[in-house]
Amino acid sequence: MAPRVLVVEDNAVNLELLIALLEQEGCEVLVAETADAGLRLARTAQPALILMDVQLPGMTGYEATRHLKGDPATAAIPIVALTALAMQGEEERAKAAGCAGYLTKPLDTRVFREALRQFLEPGGPG
């Protein structure tokens, strides 16, 4: 059975790339373009992994992550932050919000694939 991955991303170009990479890895891809939609989909679909853009309209990815980690129905789902903000301290902010991982955009596809496998392996981080 294909692992289900929820992508919360509002940029069409980034979304297209993420979907292509995930499908190449044999994943079932779910998409939400806002944090609110991502919260609802995470609760109902129970994905194996969530890829969360940090800069979303309305609620930020970090705020959404805190909501997901505070909800017993979604607290165990690993969340990887995706951000174009490669500033010092950003990875720490992601971890403080509850993210299990952090990747910068534009994505390095090799690093992305390694991280994906790491998070989807049984017993992987999360």
State residue 69's pLDDT score. Answer: 98
Is-above-0.85 flag for pTM?
yes
Give the model confidence (pLDDT) of 82-105 as tens digits: 998 778 888 999 999 999 999 999
Residue pair 77/46 in contact (Cβ under 8 Å)? The answer is yes
d(CA 67, CA 79): 12
Give the lowest-confidence range in 2-6, 22-26, 61-65, 120-124: 120-124
Structure tokens at 97: 């919000």
If 0-12 CB within 10 Å is exposed, 13-18 middle and 19+ buried, where does residue 73 land? Answer: exposed
125 has pLDDT over 90: no
Residue pair 83/55 in contact (Cβ under 8 Å)? The answer is yes
- Residue 123's pLDDT band (cuts 50, 70, 90): low
State residue 1's pLDDT score. Answer: 80
Q: Superfamily for 4-120?
A: Response regulator (3.40.50.2300)
Q: Which amino acid is at 107?
A: L
Report, as an integer, the average pLDDT of 75-83.
97
